[in-house]
Amino acid sequence: MEEDLIIGIDLGTTNSLIGVVDSGFPIILADEEKERLTPSSVSYLPDGKILVGRESSRVRTLHPTRSIDSVKRFMGRPASDLTAEELDSSLLTFKKGEADELSIKIDEELSVTPVEVSAEILKRLKRIAEDALETEVHRAVITVPAYFNNSQREATKLAAEKAGLSVARIINEPTAAALAYGLDKSDEHSTIAVYDLGGGTFDLSVLQLKEGLFEVISTAGDTRLGGDDFDGAIADFIRTELNLDELTDAESVTISAAAREAKESLSTAETHMIRLPFLRDGESFELEMTRDQLESILTPILKRTRAICERAFAEAANKGAKAIDHLILVGGSTRTPLVQRKLKEWFELEPNISQHPDEAIALGAAIQAGMLCGRIRQVILVDVTPLSLGIETFGGLMNVIIPRNSTIPTKAGEMFTNAVDHQKSMAIRVLQGERELAKDNWLLGEVAVPFTPGAKGKARVGVQFSIDSDGILEVLARDTETGEDHLLEIRNAAVDVDDEKVEKMVSESIDYAFDDMNERILVEARMKSAELLPAVESALEQIADRLSPEEVQSIKEAADAVQSLIDSETSDANALKAANRNLDEATQTLAAALVEAAFDAI
């Protein structure tokens, strides 16, 4: 027995499912008939037997007043809360008990509460799991609609306890759906709309991702709108087409079932043959239905969901949520192609339907359960800097401070000095990119650091880059002499870069690697020449007399070679580098003579 195993349950109005994380993956468990959906139906037979799921659905026509469907509608509600319509539309007999407690009267001896009925469904699910996993199960994550109030949630917990399951966590159905779609990995503050059209209820929830957790921003729905209404409208169509008025209860049940079958088949087929064998007085009926006919029947019903969506979207926008980033469809009824088409048409959003709509919630519950019992390793996705960050240095070169792919948060810095005499300030240009030259990278921001003018190399400015866990880059430039700080804050840009742009930048840096490198060597060589030439000139002026004419000649030639390469604005970096090296070597004697001259002067 696995003591800490937790399973995930979608306790639905029409269907319930159970899932678990196995070898790191969430799966939905099937019963002995290989079925994964358990109808949320419970029948209390006169002999005391209790049938649950498909077994209960099968006997429903025989015991209409002993079969309870859609008990979820009554969970956690006081008896006085039930509307006249609810009482009328049901074949069940309701009772109001002590403290306004609602119960359903099966017969003179037996009354059951919604919690007890739900507990039967949960017991059945627990058994399916135990058979499939060959181990006992004691803990569960259970989903409830986002709009469930506290007493509805408490009732769900109580039902679980009655079924021998302790509730590890109650989570919202839309949250579970979003988990199943992996949207907990989407961008911070992503807005997610979950359109859930089940058997008898419609819910639209808008969620926002905040620090890896989903927050329900708004919900709207209709507790009397779903696939059952589709079935009812199709049944009316069948009855009219076949001229069948005044249906008996049995006929009505048979036609409803045929209607549902037609609806589900037309989600994939273009036409469907409705067959009603021996329906009335031994007479059989047949009727062919097309997808087009179905769609014209469903359109008016479906339109009712539009206004509800708009209401929830508007409320979310009022609360500051940005436009919908992801629209996901759950609930068996969203398998109807018309639903997907209409949503696209109304909201210009491409719905994500990559998960089975009737399994997504259970899958999400299983994922949550897996996280709680450690069957899913919480992979912490660390953010990395997609591109290098640095500053422009003298000569227009990129000086990388934080390299590409550094994990954040991170911090790095460097010391810079003034490149020319009497410079009054240093411009810190913050760059992002992989190219060698500053101009080919992106400029993120700029700050000027003033300092006391001095000789070249005297002023020292420390530059520190730090990126916090939110991806905010802070550039601090400090004049080390005065201790004065200059701050530059760059939000998001440092970490949030479009994947395509990153790819382009990286591939260009590879394409141009050779040219870029040549350019960098050239810039560096020019700077070296600019340093060498005046130094050599002034040294020669001072101490040429200490050298042989040949020595002076060779130094001058080396200097001229460098100078002429500079004058010709050569792009041959290696030639200039070689000329610099040559000049450097030629001045070795010059350097020695300088030292000698210095000693002589003492």
Query: Which residue lies nearer to Mg ion by CB, 6 or 177?
Result: 177
Q: Considering the rule CB under 5 A, would residue 351 count as an interface residue with Mg ion?
A: no
Residues 214, 388 contacting (CB under 8 angstroms): no
Residue 26 touches which of ligand ADP, Mg ion, none (Cβ within 5-8 Å per kind): none
Residue 263 touches which of Mg ion, ligand ADP, none (Cβ within 5-8 Å per kind): ligand ADP
Residue 388 touches which of Mg ion, ligand ADP, none (Cβ within 5-8 Å per kind): none
The one segment of 6-14, 101-109, 493-501, 545-553 that binds Mg ion by CB under 5 A: 6-14
Q: Report d(CA 198, CA 499) in Å as an integer.
A: 37
Q: Report d(CA 131, CA 125) in Å as an integer.
A: 10
Query: Which residue lies nearer to Mg ion by CB, 359 or 440?
Result: 359
Question: What one-character-per-residue DSSP string does 221-253 give?
Answer: EETT-SHHHHHHHHHHHHHHHTT--S--HHHHH
Among 5, 7, 8, 12, binds Mg ion (CB under 5 A): 12
Residues 53, 44 contacting (CB under 8 angstroms): no
The set of long-range contacts for 540-549, using a CB threshold of 8 Å and a minimum separation of 24, is 540/590, 542/594, 542/597, 543/590, 543/593, 543/594, 543/597, 546/593, 546/596, 546/597, 547/589, 547/590, 547/593
Q: Output the smallest distance, CB 268 to ligand ADP, in A.
A: 7
Structural element, H or E, at residue 197 = strand 191-197
Q: Output the smallest distance, CB 377 to Mg ion, in A.
A: 29
Q: Output the smallest distance, CB 324 to ligand ADP, in A.
A: 21
Query: Which residue lies nearer to Mg ion by CB, 12 or 386?
Result: 12
Residue 336 touches which of Mg ion, ligand ADP, none (Cβ within 5-8 Å per kind): ligand ADP
For residue 380, count CB atoms less than 10 angstroms from its CB and return exposed for 0-12, middle for 13-18, buried for 19 or more: exposed
Query: Which residue lies nearer to ligand ADP by CB, 172 or 388?
Result: 172
Closest by Cα among 334, 77, 89 to 203: 334
For residue 145, what are its two tokens?
């609609």
Size of the site for Mg ion (CB under 5 A): 2
Query: Which residue lies nearer to ligand ADP by CB, 13 or 103?
Result: 13
What does residue 220 show for φ and ψ, rounded to 5 degrees?
A: -150, 160
| Angle of the 573-586 helix axis to the 588-601 helix axis, nearest 10 | 40
Residue 200 touches which of ligand ADP, Mg ion, none (Cβ within 5-8 Å per kind): ligand ADP
Q: Considering the rule CB under 5 A, would residue 39 count as an interface residue with Mg ion?
A: no
Q: Which residues contact 600 (CB under 8 A, 6 or more apart)?
A: none
* In the complex, residue closest to ligand ADP by CB: 227
What does the per-residue mask of binding to Mg ion show for 173-212, with x meaning CB under 5 A? -------------------------x--------------
Which residues of this chain interact with ligand ADP, rule CB under 6 A? 12-15, 198-201, 226-228, 260, 263-264, 267, 331-333, 335-336, 358
For residue 245, what are its two tokens?
């008025």
Instruction: Give the active site residues.
Output: 10, 72, 173, 196
Query: Which residue lies nearer to Mg ion by CB, 173 or 440?
Result: 173
Q: Which residues bind Mg ion (CB under 5 A)?
A: 12, 198
